[in-house]
Structure 1
Amino acid sequence: MEYQAKYITEDIKLSCYEDKFFKSDIMFEHHMLVWFLSGETKIVQADGTYIFQKGDTFLIPRNQLATIINYPKDGLPHQTVVMHLTTEWLRNFYEKIKFKPQTGNEQKIRHYNNHPLLQSCLSSLIPYFDMKELPEDIANLKITEAVSILRAIDPTIDGILTNFEEPGKIDLATYMEKNFMFNMPIEKFGYLTGRSLTTFKRDFKRAFDTTPQKWLTRKRLELAHYQFVEKKMKPIDVCYEVGFENLSHFSFAFKKYFGYAPTKLLTAGN
C-alpha cells in the first residue's frame, strides 16, 4: 500500500493513499475533523453508512466504532487534512473560556457540507506541510480557530466536545448486537462496554452461552447472507462491511458455515 503522511504536529496531518482502496476497522480515540481534498471515504457505523468526497468537511466523535474504506477517485489519490481534537486540548480550551462540560448529546458524525469558514481554516494549513520550520504555536492557533468556527456554526457541538467521560458499564448484549460487524480486539469491546477483559468474557458467556469469537463469526456470516439475498451486494463489499479482513478468508468461512459459496447466492438471484 502506498501511503504518505505529512505532519505539522501529531494532531494535524495531510494523509494520502495512492492504492485502489484502504480499509480499516477502528475506534476513534480522539475527535477527528476531516477535510477532503480528493478521493472518497465510506464510513460504516452501526447507525448507517456515510459517504464523503472532495470538498466535504466532517467531524467524527471519539470512542466510536467504524469501518473506514478509502478510495481514490477521478484519477486522484485519496487525500485529506485531518485534525485531532484531543481530550487534553479540549479541556484546556474550555477551562480558559469558563465553559462547563456537558453530556447527553448524541455522538454522531457531523457533516458540515462544504462550509466556507471551515474550508478556509483547513485549506490554510496546506502550505505548512512543506515547511521545515514552523511559526511557534501555529498548530495550537489553527486548532483554536477550527474549534471556534465549529462552535459558531453548530450550536450543539459543545455537547460533544465537552463530554470527557469514559465509557461506563452498559448492557453488553444490546451493544454487541448493534456493533458485532466491527473487527475490533475483544479488549476494545470490553473498554467500550465499561468492562475489563476478564469481566467482558464472563458477562459475554452469561449473555450468549458461547465465546466472543464464535458468536462474532456467526453473526457476521448471517449478516453477509442477508446482504447477498436482500441487497444483492457484491462479495468484496459484503466482506469488508461485515467485519472480515480479506475476501479469501471470508469466502472460506462462508462456505464452511452455509455449505455453499457466496457466488451461489448471486447466481441464484440472476
Structure 2
Amino acid sequence: MLRIPSSIQPDQFAMLRIRRSSTGGLADPSQSDPARPDPSEMTFVAYRSDVYPERNEVFFEEHAVVVVLEGEKKFTSPTQDLHVHKGQILFFQRGCYSMNESIDANYRSLVFFVNEKLLKEFVGQHLDLFADTHEPVPESLILSLDSSGTFQTFIQSLLPYFGERTPFLNELLRLKYQELLLHLLEIDSRSSTPGQLRTLLWSIYQGQKTDLDYLMSTYLLKPLSMNELARLSGRSLSAFKRDFESHFHTSPGHWIRRKRLEHAHFLLRNTGKNVSEVSMEIGYESVSHFIKAYKQQYGATPKRA
C-alpha cells in the first residue's frame, strides 16, 4: 500500500514543493534526500506518466486533486468505482483508500495536494464565497468534476514551472495554489451536483469532527496508526482517545483488537479462508500472535472455532 504524498519519490515523479515559511526559494528535489524530507516543505503538485500496466492500493494522507491530462484510469474506493479520462478532475478526501489501476499506456496526470493549513487560510480570505453554505457534507470520499476551458489554461500555465527555477517560485506557487482552489469552486458551482466541494471545504475550515462510529467502521481493518486515526477524525491524539473512551467506554486499542478478532471469528466460520489468510486480513503480521489473541478472546484456538 502506498501512502501519498509521503510515498512519492523524486525518481518516480516530477514535483513542485511549497515552503511553509514565507521566505526563501523553492528547494530542488534532486538535491534533497527523499528519505529525509525537509519539514519546512510540502508537496504541492506531482506529475507522472504511468508505467503500463500498474495497480496500486493508495491511502491519501492529505486531500488531493487528480487532474487527468491524457489517457484513462480506474479508481475504486470502498463505495465508488470511477473510470476517468482526459479532462476529468477528482477530489480525494484525506483518509480515502483507493485501488488505482492503469488501463491506458498514455495515462498522465497532475496530483495536487491540498494542505489543510493553506486551505483554511484560503477559505478565511474568501469567506464571501462560502456565505449561506448549509448543504450536508458529501458522503462520497471522491468527488468527480469535469474540467473547463479556463481550468485547462490554468493547468498549461503551471507546466513550465517543472523546468524552471526562479527566486520567486515559492511565491508564485502560493498564488497558483489559490488559483487552483478558485477554479475548482467555479467548476463545482456549475456541476450537476453544485456546491459539494464548497460544502466540503467549509466543513474543513470549521474543523468539523468526523463521527467516530463512521470512522471506525470505515477503517477498522486498515493498517493505520493511532495518530493517523486521530488525524482523520479531526482531533488531536489526546482528544481522540478521550472522545473515543467516552463514546465506546473502552480504549481505542482494546476496541480495535476486539472488533478485528470478531471479524476473524466470522470469517473462520463462514468462509473457506485458513488461519494464515484470516490473520493477515485483520492486520496480524504474526500468525502465532493472532492465535494467542484469538484464544484469549474465545477460549479456543482458531482451528477449533
| Shorter-chain TM band | 0.5 to 0.7
- For 1:139, the aligned partner's letter is L
1:139 to 165, 169, 173: 173
Question: For 1:121, which of 150, 154, 157 is the aligned residue?
Answer: 154
Correspondence for 1:206: 249
* 3-state SS of paired residue (2:174): helix
Question: Does the Cα contact within 8 Å between 2:207 and 2:234 map onto a contact in 1?
Answer: no
Q: Is the 8 A contact 1:12 1:81 kept in 2?
A: yes
The one-letter code sitting in structure 1 at the alignment partner of 2:15 is: Y
User: Per-residue displacement from partner, 1:106-148 (whole Å, max 9, x unpaired)?
Assistant: 1432211344443442244233212234764332333233222
Measured after TM superposition, the shift of residue 32 of structure 1 is: 1.8
- Deviating above 6 A after TM superposition, structure 1's stretches of 4 or more consecutive aligned residues are 207-210, 222-229
Displacement after TM superposition at 1:4 (Å): 1.1
Determine whether 1:85 maps to 2:114. yes
TM-score (norm 2): 0.58
**Is the 1:40–1:72 Cα contact (8 Å) retained in structure 2?**
yes
Aligned residue pair count? 240
Q: Find the aligned partners of 2:202 and 2:14 in 1 and give their Cα distance.
A: 28
Q: Give me the whole-angstrom Cα distance separating, in 2, the residues matched to 1:222 and 1:4.
A: 41
What's the Cα RMSD here? 4.5
- CA shift, 1:243, in A, is 7.1
Q: Does 1:162 align with 2:162?
A: no
> For the residues of structure 1 that align with 2:96 and 2:48, how far apart are their CA atoms?
18
Matched, 1:33 2:65: yes
Q: 2:14 aligns with which of 1, 6, 10?
A: 6
**2:128 paired with 1:99:** yes
Aligned residues of 1:4 and 1:16 also touching (Cα < 8 A)? no
Question: In structure 2, what residue type is equivalent to 1:145?
Answer: E
Which one of 17, 34, 59 corresponds to residue 91 of structure 2? Answer: 59
CA distance in 2, matches of 1:94, 1:203: 32
SS of residue in 2 equivalent to 1:99:
helix
Counterpart in the other structure of 2:186: 152
Question: d(CA) in 2 for partners of 1:149 and 1:88?
Answer: 19
> Greater shift after overlay, 132-141 or 201-210?
201-210
Distance 1:227 1:5 in 2: 44
Quick check: 2:244–2:251 contact (8 Å CA) kept in 1? Answer: no
Question: Are residues 249 and 131 of structure 1, via their aligned partners in 2, closer, same or farther at CA, if it must alter by over 3 Å?
Answer: farther
Confirm or deny that 1:42 pairs with 2:82: no
Relative contact order (C-alpha < 8 Å, sep 6+): which is higher? 1
Unaligned stretches of 5+ residues in structure 1: 230-235, 260-270
The aligned counterpart of 2:220 is 180
Preserved contact between residue 268 and residue 302 of structure 2 (Cα < 8 Å): no
**Distance (whole Å) between structure 1 residues aligned to residue 55 and residue 77 of structure 2:** 15
For the residues of structure 1 that align with 2:270 and 2:128, how far apart are their CA atoms?
A: 46
- Select which of 196, 204, 215 maps to 2:258: 215
Q: Distance in 1 between matches of 2:122 and 2:230?
A: 30
Contact 1:41 / 1:70 at 8 angstroms: preserved in 2?
yes
| Amino acid corresponding to residue 54 of structure 1 in structure 2 | H
Task: Report the 3-state secondary structure (helix = DSSP H, G, I; strand = E; otherwise coil) of the residue aligned with 2:162.
Answer: helix
Alignment of 1:247-262 (within 5 A): none
Please tell me the residue identity of whatever aligns with 1:85. Answer: V
SS in structure 2 at match of 1:81:
strand
Gaps of 5+ in 2: 3-8, 18-42, 190-194, 295-300
CA distance in 1, matches of 2:269, 2:91: 31
- Counterpart contact for 1:16–1:80, Cα < 8 Å: yes
Q: CA deviation digits over 1:221-256, x for unaligned, max 9?
A: 579789989xxxxxx9xx99x7769xx989xx8xx9
